[in-house]
Amino acid sequence: MSLPHAILTALLEKPSSGLELTRRFDKSIGYFWSATHQQIYRELGKLEDAGLIRALPSPQPTRGQRKAYEVLPAGRAELTAWVGKEEDPKPIRSALLLRMRAAAVVGPQGLEVELNRHLALHQEQLKEYEQIEERDFPAGRDGAEDRLRHLVLRGGIELETFWIGWIAEALATVGKLSEASEASEASEASEASETPGVPEASEQG
């Protein structure tokens, strides 16, 4: 149920067309609740049919013109009720964490490359969040709505900071394990080469 509520939130902030919503999702809400253009349009139709939003009348209707939507009182009431609704946290599903668990069984060969790739992605996302924070939440901007929106952004910043730290620790651990494995293999190879061969028994006539 979260996508329709995300759309209601965005429309209460600013009446928008489906295309405008898609662009706004890409730059804000989409960071923590993504949606495709088709999903947004589909939900707009459902919300309109349910009487939660309406298309704004156009002063000069033209064929193919984008409709802008606004939230009706029933939509605001629905969003208000949802804000206070009880909902349990969702279990984490991470392919990277699963790969780490698999590496404990089969070895970490090749895992370092993927960890470095994820590290770069999280560093890039953190940089983007920090740029948004500097641009949109300068010192002294502390209205009630700004505080809550800033808190959401801070959640994203803290999450990316966590992943960067965790992946750095994972890379260090994988590196040490790889070094230990290589040293063990080298030692075994050296011992094998130094072990004298057993002479064959001579035939007695």
- Which pLDDT tens digit goes with each residue over 99-155? 999 999 998 888 999 999 999 999 999 999 999 999 999 887 778 888 999 999 999
Report DSSP letters for 78-94, one per residue.
Answer: HHHHHHT---PPPPP--
Nearest CA to 172 out of 131, 124, 119 is that of 119
Is this structure's pTM higher than 0.85? no
Rounded (10°) CA dihedral 172, 174, 176, 179: -140
Residue 25: alpha-carbon gap to chain centroid: 14
- Cβ burial, residue 40 (10 Å; 0-12/13-18/19+): buried
155-205 residue pLDDT tens: 999 999 999 999 999 999 998 887 766 666 556 556 666 655 555 555 554
Give pLDDT, residue 31.
Answer: 84
**Rounded distance between C-alpha atoms, residue 130 and residue 162, angstroms:** 15
